[in-house]
Amino acid sequence: MEIEFWWFLALPLFFALGWLAARIDIRQVVHESRALPRSYLSGLNFLLNEQQDKAIDAFIEAVKIDPQTIELHFALGSLFRRRGETDRAIRMHQSLVDREDLSDEQRLQALAELGQDHLKAGLLDRAEAVFLKLRDTRLNDIAARFLLEIYQQEKDWAKAIEAAKALPDHESVLWRKEVANFYCELATLALASSRNEEARRHLDQAFAINRQCVRASIVLGDLMAAEKRYDEAIEVWKRVESQDPVYLALVAERIMDAHQRLDRVEQGQTLLRSWLERHSSLDLLDEVFHWELEKEGSRAAYDLVREELRRNPTLLGLDKLLEAALLNAPAEQRSDIELVKQLIHGHTRRVARYRCAECGFKARQFQWRCPACGGWETYPPRRTEEYDLAP
Q: List, as residue ranges, the binding site for Fe cation.
A: 356, 359, 370, 373
In order of 48, 207, 265, 284, the CA distances from 35 in angstroms are 21, 62, 84, 71
Closest C-alpha to 366, from 202, 214, 183, 182? 214
What are the residues whose beta carbons fall under 8 Å from the beta carbon of 372, sequence distance 6 or more?
Answer: 356, 359, 361
- Spatial separation of the C-alpha atoms in residues 178 and 174, rounded to whole Å: 9
Closest C-alpha to 285, from 319, 258, 259? 319
Burial of 352-364, coded b for 16+ CB within 10 Å and e otherwise, reads bebbbeeeebeee
Tell how far CA 126 is from the center of its chain.
Answer: 23
Annotated binding site: 356, 359, 370, 373
Q: Which helix (H) or strand (E) holds 191?
A: helix 176-192
CB-CB neighbours of 365 under 10 Å? 7
- Spatial separation of the C-alpha atoms in residues 326 and 333, rounded to whole Å: 8
